[in-house]
Homo-oligomer: A and B are copies of this chain.
Amino acid sequence: MNNFSFCNPVKIIFGKDSISKIATELPTNAKVLMLYGGGSIKKNGVYSQVTKALGDRVFLEFGAIEANPRFETCMKAVALIKEQSIDYLLAVGGGSVLDATKFISAASCYQGTEAWDIIAKELPLTKALPFGAVLTLPATGSEMNSGAVITRESTKDKLAFNSPLVFPQFSVLDPSVTFSLPSRQVANGIIDTFVHVVEQYLTDANDAPLQDYFAESILQVLFEEGPKALTDPNNYEVRANLMWASTWALNGWIACGVKQDWATHIIGHEITALYELDHAQTLAIILPGVMKVMKKHKGKKIQQMGKRIFGIQAANEEEQIAQTINAVEAFFNSLGVKTRLGEYGIEEKVCAEVAERIKLRGWKLGEHGDITSETVAEILAGRM
């Protein structure tokens, strides 16, 4: 096991009818900005539950956060916060709203002239506005971590940042608010969660059995419960299990003491920035390719995953690896998500385009830092 230091101070408030509990979490004298996305919270009752819980507090709203949240949008919220002397943020939504809120929380306290530098130059933060969250879409794990991904429209950059100052103070997880999600978002959330785990699990064979078993626990829940959420959308227990699994996939604990990859996510971000595919669609396309091309490092763990998650017992190692990769792709397909670039109308040139962007950024990806721009092109070429 590798050495590590880690702390995750987020308070989780989980369960039916728990949105009302934000009333006791928010300071009574806070001047709150409530942030949300496209307005689905006004249809499913979440908006009214939140505003009721806010009680007599002064609050404003910023309801324009898009999927793959834009830096440009975030800066509009920052201007409002400064103008209105807001001192507490409340994110109500999925990963996009939470990620945007994290950046807004940091950018509102940033003293420099160019807030994008927080991300582009990985500046260490010294201050951020406190915020809480009401999660409406289990997927990104943003409700219990200190990371965010923001897209800059003007340059088509989709980049991540991380700071212990942007952990939510609390996150409310009421599984019943996910009943009304469109099945595309449910499937995307399951795949995003699955790939989060894989990025922290499918690396070298190691001697960290607790981390392996925990990671496999989450994968197993997704594999067993995921399809039920699509066929039986109002099943509370299924929704609760998926929501909790999603939080655990990226709250930092399963990454402690082990290597991490993240190549699938980073390549995926470039495709979303260029072609606007859903984040999870890019993951479903790329992961099988990363597994295949990087099996020199990941072979042992792929075999273990095949045996423990999919029950595969092939005749030899090569076959075990091949069958496991097929099982992952088949699982994504079974959720209704396509796994080939061509199926989304994307042409072969994407391989060179993405490789070029990785090259320009000077990045070498993967847990061994040996996924070059050429390897990225090879991975994508296998995913047409």
Q: Which residues of A contact B (CB under 8 A)?
A: 1-18, 21, 170, 175, 207-210, 213-214, 216-218, 220-221, 224-225, 237, 240-241, 244-245, 248, 256-257
Contact = CB atoms under 8 A, between A and B. Distances in A.
Stoichiometry (number of copies): 2
Contacts of A209: 220-221, 224-225, 241
Contacts of A248: 210
Contacts of A256: 12, 14
A12 B1 contact: no
Nearest to A3: B15
Contact of A208 (B170, B224, B241): B241
B12 A9 contact: no
Given A8-B8, A217-B217, 15 more contacts: A1-B240, A1-B241, A3-B16, A4-B14, A5-B11, A6-B14, A14-B256, A14-B257, A209-B225, A209-B241, A210-B241, A210-B245, A210-B248, A213-B221, A216-B217
A9 to B, nearest CB: 4
A361 to B, nearest CB: 31
B9 A9 contact: yes
Contacts of A18: 3, 5
Contacts of A11: 5-7
B6 A210 contact: no
A290 B122 CA distance: 55
A4 B8 contact: no
A207 B5 CA distance: 33
Nearest to A7: B11
A162 to B, nearest CB: 16
A217 B213 contact: yes
A14 B7 contact: no
Q: Which of A5, A218, A220, A257 has the most CB of B within 10 A?
A: A5
Contacts of A214: 214, 217
A170 B14 CA distance: 26
B1 A5 contact: no
A10 B8 CA distance: 8
Contacts of A17: 3
Contacts of A220: 209, 213
A256 B245 CA distance: 13
A5 B14 contact: yes
B16 A6 contact: no
A235 to B, nearest CB: 10
Contacts of A175: 1
A262 B3 CA distance: 33
Nearest to A244: B210
B5 A12 contact: yes
A48 B148 CA distance: 42
Contact of A7 (B12, B221, B245): B12
B7 A3 contact: no
A210 B218 CA distance: 7
Contacts of A237: 1, 207
A16 B17 CA distance: 45
A131 to B, nearest CB: 15
Contacts of A13: 5
